[in-house]
Amino acid sequence: MDTNPQLPRIGFIGLGIMGRSMAGHVLAAGHPLCVYNRSRDKADELVGRGARWCDSPGDVAAASDIVITMVGYPADVEQIYLGEGGIVERAAAGTLLVDMTTSSPSLARRIAEAARAKGCAALDAPVSGGDVGAREARLSIMVGGEPADLERARPVLERMGTSIVLQGGPGTGQHTKMCNQIVIASTIVGVTEGLAYARSAGLDPATVLQAIGGGAASGFQLNVLGPRIIAGDFAPGFFIEHFLKDLGIALGEAAQMGLELPGLALARGLYEQMAARGYGRDGTQALIKLYRH
């Protein structure tokens, strides 16, 4: 695939279920693309299309005008950005750093401060939309940072998402993603329990879904994950273990604000049961397994 050297050089770190599709859209748009992932085989398809492999996150940063990261946990984010030889240390002055991982607001602020001290800029830009949104380039992107930095990143972010909204300064993108996860947590519990009820009542779950999917109950969790639940398809669009990470961050932030969120706490307890039973690498829709007789 030919790239356009006049476009910003993009570095992409983290080629999992969502990251691989996101990076692919950037490459398809003609950007010179450098990639890194802990498991190199996940980069093979992109490298075959013209991306360049780098041996470390720091090497990606040194070769890029804009660095995008989509990794697993806050500890991973901290290591690749702030660790020795990491992104902040290796990035040239003027580089824009965009973390699209769901991580903690406080870490996002620390990264922004470290980037600023190096003469770089940083955005926290977590996403919602799951594997489907990533594949179809229609993610919702929640951004924290400076308006001018978002405008610089916007042409690239538009390759991956259809809703790109600045929430405020550093960390506010992550706070907004916590709002998203809080809503999803109770919603997926409701979807699962509704379908469990339908089956116990002797109804055809698919017919029930047809009836309620166009009414007030409609939404991504019901209309996209509902059919997967009915089909017994528990392949991850989003890992349970990563969802538990997000719920823990949200509950921790809420506790610091003196806010009680009993629905969120209930959802986390249910997903902790799933993880304890060995289902942490299933998709969030696998929660239905708790309701089977």
| CA 51-95-169 angle, 5° bins | 120
- Catalytic (active site) residue 177: yes
**58: β partners:** none
Please check whether residue 117 is in contact with residue 92, taking contact to mean a CB–CB distance below 8 angstroms: no
Q: Please give the span between the terminal C-alpha atoms of the chain, in angstroms, as a whole number.
A: 52
Q: Please, which residues have CB within 8 angstroms of residue 255's CB and are 6 or more apart in sequence?
A: none
Supply 176's token pair: 């907004």
Give the ranges where the chain is alpha helix by DSSP (H): 19-28, 44-48, 57-62, 74-82, 87-90, 105-117, 130-135, 147-157, 172-200, 205-212, 220, 226-231, 240-256, 262-276
Supply 32's token pair: 């010179």
SS3 50: coil
Q: Looking up tokens 């699962």, which residue turns up?
A: 192
Annotated catalytic residue, options 118, 177, 245, 289: 177
CA distance 237 to 64: 29
- Alpha carbons within 13 angstroms on the beta-carbon side of residue 263 total 11
- Active-site residues, by number, are 177
